[in-house]
Structure formats: C-alpha cells, structure tokens
Amino acid sequence: MTAVHHKFVLPALDMSGKPVLVSGGTGSFARAFVDTLLTKNAPRRLVVFSRDEQKQDTMAREIAAAHPNAADRMRYFIGDVRDLSRLELAMRDIDYVVHAAAIKIIPIAEYNPFETILTNVHGAENVVKASLRNGVKKVVALSTDKAANPINLYGASKLASDKIMVAANNLAGRDGAKFAVVRYGNVIGSRGSVVPLFDGLIAKGAKALPITDPRMTRFWITLEQGVNFVLSSLGLMNGGELFVPKIPSMKMTELARAMAPGLPHDIVGIRPGEKLHEVMITEDDARLTIELDDRYVICPVLPRWSSEHLKAAGAKPVGEEFRYSSEINTEWLDAALLNGLIGRKAA
C-alpha cells in the first residue's frame, strides 16, 4: 500500500465563452465548481440553479467579492429539479449542465423515501428531458460510491439516476445531447462530512471522537479534485460513460488519529444503511470497465457507442475479477497527506 495525493492528468474541458448550468448550485461541490470556472475560464453565462434563496444570496455576495469582474456572467435561478417546467426555463441557451442536486444524507433519505425518490430519481429524469428539449450539448451527473451494490435508499436512488443518465443517450439520437456520470467517494471537508464534524467536536473540547466501526474504510477526494475530475470527464466523454477516479482510501480510525492523535475513540456502531467498506466498481461491472492512468471508465452498452476515443487516450481493460473497493485499494492516505489536503497543521 502506498500513500498518495492523486493528480488527474487528463485535460479539463475549457468552458471559456460557454453557457453553463449547475444544479444543486449552492452545495459544496457547486460552490467550488463555480469558483474554478471563474478563476480558470471565462464562461459566457454561469447559472446557479437551486431552491434555497438564502444560500443563493450568500453565495452571490461571496462570488461578487471574490470575482468582481464576473457579476455580468452570473445568474442565480431559484428552482427545484423536481419542477420540469422551471428546469426548461433555466436551461434555455445552455450548452453544458453539471447535475449535482441530490438528497445525500443517508439517515434523512431512509426516513424520507418519497422525497428522496422525487429529487434523486425524478429530478434526474427532469434534467434529461429539459436538456433534450433545450439542445444542451453535454450533461455530467454526479453520483456516489454508494450507488454500487447499494444497501441504502440514497445509493439505490443514485443508481437509478445513473441508469437514467446513461440510457438518456438512447433518446438523444446521433446529434443530440450527450450524457455521462462521474462516481467518486467521500469529499474531504464538504458540508455534512466527517472532517467538519470532527473539527467541531475537537474545538468544543470533546473527550472522544465517535467511530462507527474500527474496521471501516472510505475513499477520499478533495473538492478541488472532484471539480477537476468532472471538468476532465466532460472533455473526455462521448456519452454513456461512468467515470471513476483513482483516489486513495483511509481507515476512519486513522482519520480520527490524524486529526486528534490524543483523543480516544467512542465506538458507536454502524448506522442503518451504512457499509463497512465502499465499492465503486463491482466484479459484475469489471467486464465493461477499462482503465486510464488516472481513472476507470465503466463503458455503456449502447448502440453505436465506441471506446475508440478512450483507447486513443491509452485505455486498457481491467481483469475479469477486478473490484474497486476501499479496503483493498492500493493507494492510501496517511496523516501528513490528510492534514495537507484539509489545510491544517499536523496535530
């Protein structure tokens, strides 16, 4: 096992001069996505589509302060992916869509299944319909490691969303919109993740950090890496691919020790719907999976789809017994790398 900080080597799609929309536009990913585009590109129009006006107002102030020359390109569009007609209005004259809206918190999804299906499944369907009706060129939907062999509703709903996005290429025809999916692990430092939770407990003088199970492992990626992975996948996609980054794993106990080496652990037990380890590619998907230097690609079974663009980038098939799971990963984070990624000095 090696300690790594993975870099994605394939070039990002240049969004300069392009109209772009991001759903779930005030979430952690979307906020970083908008910052990156305004810093590195000059999109002609950048639409933030979300349903919380307070978060939009806060984001608009922060973006205006950080990017004072970008005000004329920003649009803040109140709406819900459950509302097809509102999505259709928002996507007028949009070329690229990044679909990041979802109900993500596992216990909340378990307790509110109807709402989760409306947002995660019907919302994905609405994104497809609105994209096709507005002549969008490319759509990338954000998925999750929990969509592979799901045992909770969040994972199951995102698996359904993934299938909808891949199958949407059948509806688009030869010259219509292209749809693809990116699937990655836990995002370090994102809102609601374990790093801010532990930071808050440490700041309040906690006597122990809660650990669900001492054997638990997870894949980890930073917001910056996630944004770069999405942008490079937009550039590489031909429609129907499911892109999975090569990212490191870390045991939850090691993460806790890295953040607070002097604190003991309180073993609280796995929550309903949680897995001990996360899988991003199953053995059943291995026969459809090819490998690039910085990612895996689960290829679609679609008419007229070809992997030639991926082979040209150096892709090769994985073995039939291949399985990409957090506990058998060959790349691991150590304490120094973790603390570097979350921008803190070693404890």
What are the structure tokens assigned to 166, written together?
A: 């891949």
pLDDT tens per residue across span 301-335: 988 899 998 999 899 999 989 999 999 999 999 88
Tell me the C-alpha distance between 71 and 42, whole Å.
12
Please give the share of the chain, as a percent, with pLDDT higher than 90: 77
pLDDT tens per residue across span 97-145: 999 999 999 889 999 999 999 999 999 999 999 999 999 999 999 999 9
The closest alpha carbon to 20, from 73, 85, 68, belongs to: 73
The DSSP bridge partners found for residue 279 are 325
**Residue 262 exposed, middle or buried by CB count within 10 Å (0-12, 13-18, 19+):** exposed
Average pLDDT over residues 63-75: 94
Q: Which residue has the higher pLDDT, 1 or 212?
A: 212
**149-178: buried (b, 16+ CB within 10 Å) or exposed (e) per residue?**
bbebbbbbbbbbbbebbbebbeebeeebbb
Out of 18, 104, 138, 146, the active site residue is: 146
Flag whether pLDDT at 2 surpasses 70. Answer: no
Look at residue 40 in the predicted model and tell me its pLDDT. 92
What residue ranges define each of the domains in the chain, with the CATH number in brackets? 2-186+219-247+279-324 (3.40.50.720)
Please give the share of the chain, as a percent, with pLDDT higher than 70: 95
Handedness of CA 7, 9, 15, 20 (dihedral sign): negative
Distances, alpha carbon 104 to alpha carbons 29, 61, 100, 184, in Å: 13, 26, 10, 13
| Per-residue pLDDT band at 4 (split at 50, 70, 90) | very low
Is 146 assigned a catalytic role? yes
Q: In what order do the strands lie in the sheet with 96-99?
A: 74-78, 45-50, 19-23, 96-99, 138-142, 178-182, 242-245, 295-298, 289-291, 316-317
Distances, alpha carbon 47 to alpha carbons 73, 77, 85, 100, in Å: 8, 7, 16, 13
Neighbours of 216 (CB within 10 A): 20
pLDDT tens per residue across span 13-62: 889 999 999 999 999 999 999 999 999 989 999 999 999 999 999 999 99
Average pLDDT over residues 56-71: 95
pLDDT tens per residue across span 184-206: 988 887 776 788 888 899 999 99
Tell me the C-alpha distance between 177 and 200, whole Å.
43
Average pLDDT across the chain, whole number: 92
